[in-house]
Amino acid sequence: MHFDLLHTDEKSNARAGELHTDHGVIETPIFMPVGTAGSVKGVHQHELKDSVEAQIILGNTYHLFLRPGLEVIEPAGGLHKFMNWDLPILTDSGGYQVYSLSGARKITEEGVRFQSHVDGSYHFFTPERAIDIQRSIGADIIMAFDECTPYPCDYEYAKSSMHMTHRWLKRCFNQFEKNGPKYGFEQALFPIVQGSVYKDLRTESAETIASHDAIGNAIGGLSVGEPDDELYAMTDHVCGILPKEKPRYLMGVGTPVNILECIAMGIDMFDCVMPSRNARHGMLFTSEGIINIKNKKWEKDFSPIDPNGTSYVDTAYSKAYLRHLVRAKENLAIQIATIHNLSFYLWLVKEARKHILAGDFATWKDQMVPKLSNRL
């Protein structure tokens, strides 16, 4: 796996690149739809390719480990074969969901003991185990096992947590080297910068992470409730330290505006549940602004969902029809809205890439940003 940095914008730090994996090339900047339990909710795999134009998707280790479990994913030949998806996959380490979803949990130097939200069973994740599990799930990109601190988080906790994350990182890399690829294609391990919203901690963490010389690096612990100012300040600061020639993945971010602003700072990869989760509640992102399709104003609006949209759902169905489906709690509502939102996010990063390569990214971004948060 390797990253080719093709072009860096002159008026910002935005970059266009190519991440080469054994499952194909990812054109960056890229957005990765979240397929929590081996499915992007409401979207067939061929629709992800053909309508959303996803180039890589994300799976959640916590969910996949609990259900269907490695006892199913391993004999299937890994997640790609299990779910019939032959483009790249990235898995998180499971840490974030252990902290946010599980029942009782206890963090020690050794690892995290937690209770399944599915059946109440107890499990123990260590850095070593998180790497082995991800090897078995079989993602192309696997993530270090870290502690993702909440917001707000006091300085002392953030500092000691970060140091533990750094110690865990060494254990992750040791385990990663010990056991090779599981299914005959390359798997890369990305380490994660932590340090909450403290600049000095972020500096120390970014330098530590950079020292591992991994194929790519991630920034975690953001988009957890902090104001956008802090998100941007930390992202910009960390991008200044992480190596330029490696892809930078900002975990869990964010709104369309967040994505453009962070592309401008030098981020190459994003994932977020927002486009898919908000779709399920009738919130649509478009190039002209945000639509709450449940609003009465769309009741008799028979115009296309998004005349500028790139996916077939945008012109095949009207706003009034989608509004009806959302109100009637029809499954098709989720399907249409999710394809729309994800294809919009993919369009947005593709458009950003085009403007980076054309040299007018900063101008284009300044025109787009006010429109994106417009309420239609």
Of residues 38 and 256, the one with the C-beta less far from its own copies: 38
C-alpha to C-alpha distance for 171 and 75, rounded to whole angstroms? 27
- Contacts for 348 with CB less than 8 Å, ≥ 6 apart: 31, 256, 259, 260
Whether 22 sits among the annotated catalytic residues: the reply is no
C-alpha to C-alpha distance for 143 and 161, rounded to whole angstroms? 17
332 is a contact residue toward its own copies (CB under 8 A): yes
Q: Which residues inside 280-309 make contact with its own copies, applying CB under 8 A?
A: 299-300, 302
Strand partners, 283: 292
Provide, rounded to whole angstroms, the least separation between the CB of residue 174 and its own copies. Answer: 32
Residue 119 gets which letter from DSSP? T
Q: Which of 65, 168, 321, 361 binds its own copies (CB under 8 A)?
A: 321
Q: Which of 14, 141, 334, 346 binds its own copies (CB under 8 A)?
A: 334
Kind and range of the H or E element at 205? Answer: helix 199-211
From the list 9, 140, 268, 271, the catalytic residue is: 271
Residue 290 gets which letter from DSSP? E
Q: Which of 46, 167, 178, 297 binds its own copies (CB under 8 A)?
A: 46
End-to-end CA distance of the chain: 42
Binding range to its own copies, per CB under 8 A, among 52-60, 73-81, 159-167, 218-226: 73-81
Given a contact cutoff of 8 angstroms between Cβ atoms, the answer to whether 70 and 103 are in contact is no
- Contacts for 80 with CB less than 8 Å, ≥ 6 apart: 23, 86, 89, 138, 183
CA-based nearest residue to 29, from 360, 273, 361: 361
- Contacts for 149 with CB less than 8 Å, ≥ 6 apart: 157, 158, 161, 162, 194, 196, 221, 224
50 is a contact residue toward its own copies (CB under 8 A): no
Whether 132 sits among the annotated catalytic residues: the reply is no
C-alpha to C-alpha distance for 238 and 236, rounded to whole angstroms? 6
Of residues 171 and 323, the one with the C-beta less far from its own copies: 323
From the list 92, 146, 268, 314, the catalytic residue is: 92
327 is a contact residue toward its own copies (CB under 8 A): yes
* Per-residue binding letters, 339-368, with its own copies (x by CB under 8 A): ------------------------------
Q: Which of 104, 109, 331, 375 binds its own copies (CB under 8 A)?
A: 331
CA 109 to chain centre: 27
DSSP-based helix, strand, coil % in the chain, nearest 5: 45, 20, 40
Q: Which residues inside 16-45 make contact with its own copies, applying CB under 8 A?
A: 37-39, 41-45
Provide, rounded to whole angstroms, the least separation between the CB of residue 261 and its own copies. Answer: 31
Q: Which of 72, 103, 240, 307 binds its own copies (CB under 8 A)?
A: 72
Query: Can you give the binding site for its own copies, defined by CB under 8 A?
Result: 37-39, 41-46, 63, 67-68, 71-72, 75-77, 81-84, 299-300, 302, 312-313, 316-318, 320-321, 323-325, 327-328, 330-332, 334-336
Residues carrying an active site annotation = 92, 271
